[in-house]
Structure 1
Amino acid sequence: MLSALSIRNVVLIEALDLDFGAGLSVLTGETGAGKSILLDSLGLALGARADSGLVRNGEAQASVTATFDPPPADHRAAMLLADNGIDMEPGEPLLIRRTVKADGGSRAFVNDSACSAALLRELGGCLVEIHGQHDDRGLLNARGHRALLDAYGRCDAGAVGAAYGAWRKAASALAEARETVDMAARDRDYLAHAVDELTRFGAQPGEEATLAEERASMQKGARLTDDLSAIADCLTGSDGGLAQLRQAARRLDRIAAEDERLAAVLEALDRAVVEAGEAEDRLAEVAEALSFDPARLDDIETRLFDLRGLARKHQVQPDDLADLCADMAARLTAIEGGEEHIAALEADVAQKAAAYRAAAQALSSERQLAAGKLDAAVAAELAPLKLDAARFRTVVAPLDEGQWTGQGMDRVEFEISTNPGAPFAPLTKIASGGELSRFILALKVALAEQGGADTLIFDEIDRGVGGAVASAIGERLSRLARSNQILVVTHSPQVAARGAGHLLIAKSSDGTVTRTGVHALDEGERREEIARMLSGAEITAEARAQAERLLERV
């Protein structure tokens, strides 16, 4: 709810601070007093086009601050602020401020956080609806008609939304599967050849390292073979060093008793025989370990060359060839079994599409019933508002399949015909300013609390009417004010008398400077203002008595 409006240096308004209460507030004043300036100021705060012509003559800039009661967390305005990272302190009011410079340019702030004019317009549409002959928001925006009808008829689109989501998910899975199969099918021959080649080769993870290690060992053996053989020849055989040592030891053993010193020589020679024997055994072991088969070495080098060549061909590491083969085999299998998989997905899509259509058609039927009830409710409001020749209808028409959404398959739009035999058309196409405001009022009364902003402003809704029609307008505004905050600019005493609050807009001049001011009227002042509205410039006793009767009647 709008609780306050602060205006600085806007055209004829030098400084103005207004407080607003709940229910119906009326704004009155003589023609030219500046009522439009007040609405233009509020419109500026709500995101309207910033015109430097609004800046008061001689001032650098104009500013408008609108204060709103804190919206609840589930309110559209609160969710919009949260989506845009603007914090709302619990219990604190929502402040919207807009400044316009005399040389052009404007700035917008929400709770002292800078924001774009586009965000301000969207936020303003959540908080306030201004209904006048040039307004193109609120009920005049056909994009919101479907939600209003659903709220009025309590048409729940939840099942349709769930069915739509399941259908689109299944359709996405089908499209993805088709794309996968189509891409794979283009590579069928290549995949078949590659899988065959990789399968026959049979590369294993870690094989490259194993082969390289074995090849290095065999190459080392090839280099050392001659030396090891020559060393073995020196040690072994009948003429080898070890045989000579043993022969010397046997001969020394026969003569060692001849001289005690020979015993020490024999001991040393025996040790040499033992050490030489161990060296012979170790040398045999090394020769065995380093032995190689030239054919095996050739096979290893060929396998290693082919392994690395295959990896380069497929642009992977040798250890990844096995995984590549498995992946290509899976793609090939997807091609071969793709038709069955796609057929199953197509059946799933068809089933979910049918479920969506069934839910959407049921919702369409509910909307058709709700539309009939809404049409009857609006029709009941037209005659008292001097629109008895007009007709109203809610169009619920099918959309093309490409336009179906989680909200169903219907287009909903409010249309009117202002004269018998005249074709139906959207509200803004055929209604004059006064008629348009009364149509909107009839719709708002019929819709009651179903959707829309919390604050509604009607600009001269009573233009061109009086008497019983003006009374009917006042009664309906009062009824609407039970659930919404209503501000109405009026020239009708019957409407003004219905207000819970009354603001008088007046223009004053000191001979050099003209200013527009707003004054909240007490009960006595209200009687005088309504009497003025009844009689004109000269307030008569009869006008005062009539004003008294109007106030007592409400």
Structure 2
Amino acid sequence: MLTSLYVRHFAVVEAAEVSFGPGLTVVSGETGAGKSLLVDALMLLTGARADSTMIRAGSDRAELAAEFDLADLPDAQAWLRREELDEDGSCQLRRVLRAEGSSRAWINGRPANTRQLGDLAAMLIEIHGQHEHQALLSRPHQLALLDAYAGHDELLGEVRRQSEQWHELDRRLHKLSGGEDRELRLELLRHELAELEQWALPPAELVELEANHKRLANADRLAEGSAGVVELLDGEGEFALRRALGRAHAELGKLAAMDDRLAPWLELLDNAGIQLGEAADGLGRYAQDVDLDPAGYTALDQHLSHLHALSRRHRLPPEALHEKLLALRAEHADLEGAGDALEQLSGQLQRLQQDYARTADLLSQSRTTAATRLGEEVSALMGELGMAGGILRVELAPTPTDEPDAQGRERCELLVSANPGQPPRPLRKVASGGELARISLAIEVATLGKDSIGSMIFDEVDSGIGGAVAEVVGQKLRALGSRRQVLCVTHLPQVAAQGHAHLRVSKQSDGDTTRTRIEQLDAAGRRDELARMLGGVEITRETRAHAKQMLDRAQTA
């Protein structure tokens, strides 16, 4: 339910905050006062395209905010949780329009885009007005409305559950069968497994293979280089390290005989000599043992070439090929032993499709009955609302596929004819805004707000009517308000008298600037406003008495 609306620097409104309660709230005011600004603000908060011309002259931005109570709107609460935008059961939508044309939006203080605004607002508010977008024009919403009208919650839930189970079994069957042809898949798996089993290696063995390949590829250089290092360490040349170290050791020994404080350094040279000798001996043996194995190198090179080819084919790094091998082995084993499982799954799928067909047939039969009943009720209400001879027909068309569908075996389209002799056309193609608003009202009254929308807005629903029809429209809106929150912008006293609450919009000017004021009326204020709507410029005592009589009759009905 909408609890408050705040607008600042929006059109001719400098700043206004309006509180809303349950039931029917009517909005009235003189022509041009800005009655529809509340609807425009709510439209923008539902994600409608922003227009910088809506910003008050002289201001650089306009700010809009609305608060909603979600106590009776579980779908909206669930959506907020999924989007991680929930906030203790309440909801605030905020949008700022900037003069340069940009806009920003927030949900519960967190940045949001207009798509998110629209998705959430579709569960919070429904706007019925001349040429305005509304959820009722959506075919999925029309089907949901028919199901709500017929009380299909349990039956529709069973259809959805059986459809989801069928699709899950079908996916498992398709995967287990290997796709289009099980034998072809098995043959391909055998071929791929043969190659991978021959060449793919676990990561540790692959590292060892690459190291061996690198060593054999550089065997000549390793042998030659290590022999050269041995010559530098312990060769016959004058500058070999062990010879130089020996001379240094002899000289330091003479000095240590003179000063025993040099003994530690002499010991270090002894250790260095031992380590040089071990290094020279080890490198000498390494140089002699280096394996110059051309055949071994060729085999390793071929192995790596096959690995890189497989890597390109499977689009995997070489180190991931062994995991691919394990996965294909498991798939091959599943397919090899899939005969019994496939037969069992096929039987389950067939039985589930039969169960779905029985449940979907029950749903189809109930929808057909409900569609006729809803069409008759709405057609009768259209006559009461000043569209004598108008009809509504609920058309059900089969889905284009035989596969189980979560919404059942048909789709819904509301067809209307507002005047006698005209063929029914889709509701979404009805051109007249006034007729569309009244048709929407008739549908909502017939279904008594059985959809999940929390608040309904009717903008100029009484356009082009008057007298007894206007009073009927007001009574229907009040009846609707007993089940849902309803906001109605009106210029007719017969409608305004039926409201549980009344807002008056007035325009004030000091010669330089114009401001719009929105105020909640008390009993006396409502009487005076109805008198103005009844009597025009001059309001007499009789006019006030008539207004009071209208109010008393409407409020006690």
**TM-score range for the pair, normalised by the shorter chain length:** 0.7 to 0.9
Per-residue CA deviation, residues 132-155 of structure 1 (Å, 9 max, x unaligned), is: 022222222222111111111111
Q: Given that residues 24 and 481 in structure 1 are in contact (C-alpha distance below 8 angstroms), is that contact kept between their aligned partners in structure 2?
A: yes
The count of aligned residue pairs is 441
The equivalent residue for 1:407 is 407
Displacement after TM superposition at 1:479 (Å): 0.6
Displacement after TM superposition at 1:56 (Å): 0.9
Displacement after TM superposition at 1:432 (Å): 1.4
The equivalent residue for 1:158 is 157
The equivalent residue for 1:301 is none
Paired AA for residue 175 in structure 1: H
Q: Given that residues 184 and 332 in structure 1 are in contact (C-alpha distance below 8 angstroms), is that contact kept between their aligned partners in structure 2?
A: no
The equivalent residue for 1:361 is 361
Q: Are positions 1:94 and 2:95 aligned together?
A: no
Displacement after TM superposition at 1:37 (Å): 2.3
Distance 2:463 2:326 in 1: 82
Displacement after TM superposition at 1:310 (Å): 13
The equivalent residue for 2:67 is 67
Distance 2:191 2:393 in 1: 64
SS in 1 for 2:356: helix
Alignment of 1:153-552 (within 5 A): 153-155=150-152, 156-179=155-178, 181-187=182-188, 190=191, 331=332, 334=335, 342=342, 344-401=344-401, 404-552=404-552
Residues 111 and 338 of structure 1: CA distance in aligned 2, closer, same or farther (over 3 Å)? closer
Displacement after TM superposition at 1:338 (Å): 5.8
Distance 1:309 1:512 in 2: 90
Distance 2:327 2:121 in 1: 60
Q: Given that residues 65 and 97 in structure 1 are in contact (C-alpha distance below 8 angstroms), is that contact kept between their aligned partners in structure 2?
A: yes
SS in 2 for 1:392: strand
Residues 163 and 326 of structure 1: CA distance in aligned 2, closer, same or farther (over 3 Å)? closer
The equivalent residue for 2:244 is none
Residues 165 and 188 of structure 1: CA distance in aligned 2, closer, same or farther (over 3 Å)? closer
Displacement after TM superposition at 1:452 (Å): 3.5
Distance 1:78 1:333 in 2: 43
Paired AA for residue 151 in structure 2: R
Paired AA for residue 76 in structure 1: D
Displacement after TM superposition at 1:411 (Å): 0.1
Residues 73 and 480 of structure 1: CA distance in aligned 2, closer, same or farther (over 3 Å)? closer
Displacement after TM superposition at 1:497 (Å): 0.7
Distance 1:48 1:159 in 2: 36
Distance 2:347 2:303 in 1: 42
Displacement after TM superposition at 1:30 (Å): 1.2
Q: Given that residues 191 and 329 in structure 1 are in contact (C-alpha distance below 8 angstroms), is that contact kept between their aligned partners in structure 2?
A: no
The equivalent residue for 2:36 is 36
Distance 1:79 1:327 in 2: 41
SS in 1 for 2:452: coil
Residues 63 and 455 of structure 1: CA distance in aligned 2, closer, same or farther (over 3 Å)? same
Displacement after TM superposition at 1:457 (Å): 1.0
Q: Given that residues 7 and 16 in structure 2 are in contact (C-alpha distance below 8 angstroms), is that contact kept between their aligned partners in structure 1?
A: yes
Distance 2:306 2:190 in 1: 16
Residues 176 and 473 of structure 1: CA distance in aligned 2, closer, same or farther (over 3 Å)? same
Displacement after TM superposition at 1:425 (Å): 1.5
Displacement after TM superposition at 1:48 (Å): 1.7
Q: Given that residues 4 and 67 in structure 2 are in contact (C-alpha distance below 8 angstroms), is that contact kept between their aligned partners in structure 1?
A: yes
SS in 1 for 2:537: coil
Displacement after TM superposition at 1:194 (Å): 8.8
Higher alpha-carbon deviation: 141-150 or 538-547: 538-547
Displacement after TM superposition at 1:309 (Å): 13
Displacement after TM superposition at 1:527 (Å): 1.5
Displacement after TM superposition at 1:469 (Å): 0.2
CA RMSD after TM alignment:
3.4
| Structure 1 unpaired stretches of 5+ | 199-306
Distance 1:421 1:52 in 2: 44
The equivalent residue for 2:113 is 116
Residues 74 and 491 of structure 1: CA distance in aligned 2, closer, same or farther (over 3 Å)? closer
Paired AA for residue 132 in structure 2: D
SS in 1 for 2:177: helix
Per-residue CA deviation, residues 272-315 of structure 1 (Å, 9 max, x unaligned), is: xxxxxxxxxxxxxxxxxxxxxxxxxxxxxxxxxxx999999997
Displacement after TM superposition at 1:346 (Å): 3.6
The equivalent residue for 1:82 is 81
Paired AA for residue 179 in structure 1: G
Distance 2:2 2:73 in 1: 18
Distance 1:526 1:541 in 2: 15
Residues 329 and 313 of structure 1: CA distance in aligned 2, closer, same or farther (over 3 Å)? farther
Displacement after TM superposition at 1:462 (Å): 0.7
Residues 314 and 469 of structure 1: CA distance in aligned 2, closer, same or farther (over 3 Å)? same
Distance 1:544 1:130 in 2: 33
Displacement after TM superposition at 1:484 (Å): 1.0
Q: Are positions 1:126 and 2:147 aligned together?
A: no
Q: Given that residues 5 and 64 in structure 1 are in contact (C-alpha distance below 8 angstroms), is that contact kept between their aligned partners in structure 2?
A: yes
Displacement after TM superposition at 1:467 (Å): 0.8
Distance 1:192 1:10 in 2: 70
Residues 121 and 191 of structure 1: CA distance in aligned 2, closer, same or farther (over 3 Å)? closer
Distance 1:375 1:324 in 2: 63
Displacement after TM superposition at 1:130 (Å): 1.2
Per-residue CA deviation, residues 375-420 of structure 1 (Å, 9 max, x unaligned), is: 2322331221112211111122211116752121210122212233
Per-residue CA deviation, residues 56-93 of structure 1 (Å, 9 max, x unaligned), is: 11111110111222x13862221111111113125xx4
Residues 112 and 194 of structure 1: CA distance in aligned 2, closer, same or farther (over 3 Å)? closer
Paired AA for residue 393 in structure 2: R
The equivalent residue for 2:141 is 144
Displacement after TM superposition at 1:324 (Å): 7.8
Q: TM-score, normalised by structure 1?
A: 0.72
Paired AA for residue 152 in structure 1: Y
The sequence identity of aligned pairs, in percent, is 37
The equivalent residue for 1:46 is 46
| Structure 2 unpaired stretches of 5+ | 199-298, 311-317
Displacement after TM superposition at 1:183 (Å): 4.8
Distance 1:466 1:448 in 2: 24
Paired AA for residue 550 in structure 1: M
The equivalent residue for 1:240 is none
Q: Given that residues 188 and 332 in structure 1 are in contact (C-alpha distance below 8 angstroms), is that contact kept between their aligned partners in structure 2?
A: no
Paired AA for residue 537 in structure 2: A
Paired AA for residue 109 in structure 2: D
Distance 2:10 2:334 in 1: 75
Determine which structure has more spread, i.e. the larger CA radius of gyration: 1
Paired AA for residue 134 in structure 1: H
Distance 2:449 2:45 in 1: 25
Distance 1:108 1:182 in 2: 56
Q: Given that residues 73 and 79 in structure 1 are in contact (C-alpha distance below 8 angstroms), is that contact kept between their aligned partners in structure 2?
A: no
Displacement after TM superposition at 1:189 (Å): 7.5
Higher alpha-carbon deviation: 420-429 or 31-40: 420-429
